[in-house]
Structure 1
C-alpha cells in the first residue's frame, strides 16, 4: 500500500512539473521558437553568406527581437531549425552588427560564438 501511494505521489509531482514547464516562458517568451525562427526568414541569405547584403526587413525583425527577448536570437541561431535551414551560426551572429544595431549584446556568448 505504501509503495502504491509513493508511486502516485511521484507521478503527481512529475506531471505537475511537466505541465508547469510546458506553460512556462522560454528564451523567446511565450512565442514558440519555431515562430521566432520563421519571423527571421528575411535573414536567411545573410545568415548563410557573410558577403550577402542584410535586407532592411531582416534588420527590423532582428532589432525588435533583441529589444523584446535578447536571448531569443541566440536560441534561434543555435536551434535545430536553423541547422535544417542551412544557417551558419558564425555568420548569423554577425547580422546585428551588419545591421548597425546599437543595443546588441556585443561581447556576450551565444553558445561557442561571441556576439561582435
Structure 2
C-alpha cells in the first residue's frame, strides 16, 4: 500500500511539473522589453561615457558618447528605458538633461519631440 501511494505522488509531481513547463514557465522566452532581448541594465552600463554629459546640461559631450547615442537613437524607446534604469539613477543621470545629448552632439536624425518620461527629445 505504501509503495502505491509513493508511486502516485511521484506521478502527480511529474505531471504537475510537466504542465507548468508547458503552460507558463517556458512561455517567458517570448517576452522582450523595449530593448529587445538585451539586458537593459547592461545597456545602461554601455552609456558610461555619457554620464557626465547626462548630469550637467552645459558639460561637453565626448565623441565616444555621441557615437553610442547615435546608435541608441535607432530605438528611442530603448534609450528612454535605459535612462530610467537603476544603473542610470545610481550614476546620477538626469533624464531631462540626457535627452539634450543628441542635439548637443549635432546628430542630424534624432527623434525630436519623442517623449521620454515626460521629457521630449530636442
TM-score by length of 1: 0.79
> Which has more radius of gyration?
2
Provide structure 2 residue ranges, at least 5 long, that are not aligned to the other structure: 1-15
RMSD: 2.3
Contact 2:56/2:97 (CA < 8 Å) preserved in 1? yes
Match of 2:87 in 1: 81
Aligned residues: 106
Contact 2:41/2:86 (CA < 8 Å) preserved in 1? no
Contact 2:49/2:64 (CA < 8 Å) preserved in 1? yes
Moved more, 78-87 or 51-60: 78-87
Q: How much does 1:88 deviate?
A: 0.9
Name the CA distance, whole Å, in 2 between partners of 1:104 and 1:98.
11
Match of 1:5 in 2: none
Q: Deviations over 1:52-87 (max 9, x none)?
A: 1000000000101112x3211100112222111111
TM-score by length of 2: 0.75
SS at match of 1:25: coil
Q: How much does 1:33 deviate?
A: 0.6
Contact 1:48/1:86 (CA < 8 Å) preserved in 2? yes
